[in-house]
């Protein structure tokens, strides 16, 4: 009689066993669903005009502009430093304006004109900023350099266009290419090697040269 009582299942026992058996099944199904949703993403067609050439791509809409350049177009000049918008190594020009390409999705740039370090100049015909970086030793390891050069080009264009910065004293006057003005505008481009003074000298030389 006592043994029979021990064998009797209570409603609570049944529910507990059902939950115990069902949980791994439910978790497994959810995991499978997650894996499917991560991999089964509809790719989107887009065209980026990169360094003067139209490049057609079909990308997972979550692909950053940086990864589309490096991984899909094999333009590895643009560097991935932090991948969080904090170092500037991934700086490229989009329609002439500098952006951190790690913070922007490629699909947002369908039809946009992108200039990377490969498009600024060639080894035989360097952009003046590239030549000035070489002349003034504006780099050591060179990892930040493509981003620094793209940013430096954009900075001089910003100053020329009269766009003020936090360091511009008189907002009614045109900003000038002073050392402090250029350093402030370049503050988003980090150089672990500390080539900042030489970069400033390179920029000053280009700023002084006739357009
Ligand atoms: Fe984009 Fe650092 S890699 S800001
Ligand atoms: Fe090495 Fe700038 S040259 S990080």
Q: Does ligand 1 come within 6 angstroms of the Cβ of 86?
A: yes
Q: Does ligand 2 come within 6 angstroms of the Cβ of 194?
A: no
- If you take atom 4 of ligand 1, which residue's CA is the nearest one? 85
CA pair distance 76, 78, nearest whole angstrom: 5
How high is the pLDDT of residue 24?
60
Distance 186 CA to ligand 1 centre (A): 14
CA pair distance 85, 57, nearest whole angstrom: 24
Distance of CA 48 to the CA centre of its chain: 16
44 contacts 55 by C-beta, under 8 angstroms: no
Q: Does ligand 1 come within 6 angstroms of the Cβ of 146?
A: no
- If you take atom 2 of ligand 2, which residue's CA is the nearest one? 191
Q: Does ligand 2 come within 6 angstroms of the Cβ of 199?
A: no
Distance 102 CA to ligand 1 centre (A): 6
Distance 95 CA to ligand 1 centre (A): 19
Question: Which atom from ligand 2 is nearest to the alpha carbon of 141?
Answer: 1
Distance of CA 52 to the CA centre of its chain: 20
Distance 18 CA to ligand 1 centre (A): 50
How high is the pLDDT of residue 40?
76
CA pair distance 151, 89, nearest whole angstrom: 10
Q: Does ligand 1 come within 6 angstroms of the Cβ of 138?
A: no
Q: Does ligand 1 come within 6 angstroms of the Cβ of 90?
A: yes
Mean pLDDT per 10-residue run, the chain (211 residues)? 54 60 60 66 96 98 98 98 98 98 98 98 96 98 98 97 93 93 97 97 94 67
CA pair distance 129, 145, nearest whole angstrom: 11
How high is the pLDDT of residue 4?
52
Q: Does ligand 2 come within 6 angstroms of the Cβ of 162?
A: no
């Amino acid at each position: 009689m006592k043994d029979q009582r021990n064998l009797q299942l209570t409603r609570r026992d049944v529910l507990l066993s059902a939950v115990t058996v069902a949980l791994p099944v439910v978790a497994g199904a959810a995991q499978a669903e997650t894996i499917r949703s991560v991999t089964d993403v509809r790719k989107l067609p887009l065209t980026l005009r990169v360094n003067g050439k139209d490049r057609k791509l079909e990308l997972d809409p979550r692909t950053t502009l940086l990864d589309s350049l490096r991984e899909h177009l094999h333009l590895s000049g643009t560097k991935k430093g932090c991948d969080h918008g904090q170092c500037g190594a991934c700086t490229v020009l989009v329609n002439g304006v500098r952006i951190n390409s790690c913070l922007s999705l490629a699909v947002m740039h369908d039809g946009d004109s992108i200039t990377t370090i490969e498009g600024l100049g060639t080894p035989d015909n360097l952009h003046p900023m590239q030549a000035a970086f070489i002349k003034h030793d504006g780099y050591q390891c060179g990892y930040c350099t493509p981003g620094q050069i793209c940013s430096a080009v954009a900075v001089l264009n910003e100053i020329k266009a009269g766009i003020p910065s936090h360091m511009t004293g008189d907002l009614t006057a045109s900003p000038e290419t002073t050392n402090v003005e250029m350093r402030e505008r370049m503050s988003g481009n980090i150089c672990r090697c500390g080539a900042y003074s030489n970069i400033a000298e390179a920029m000053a030389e280009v700023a002084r040269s006739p357009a």
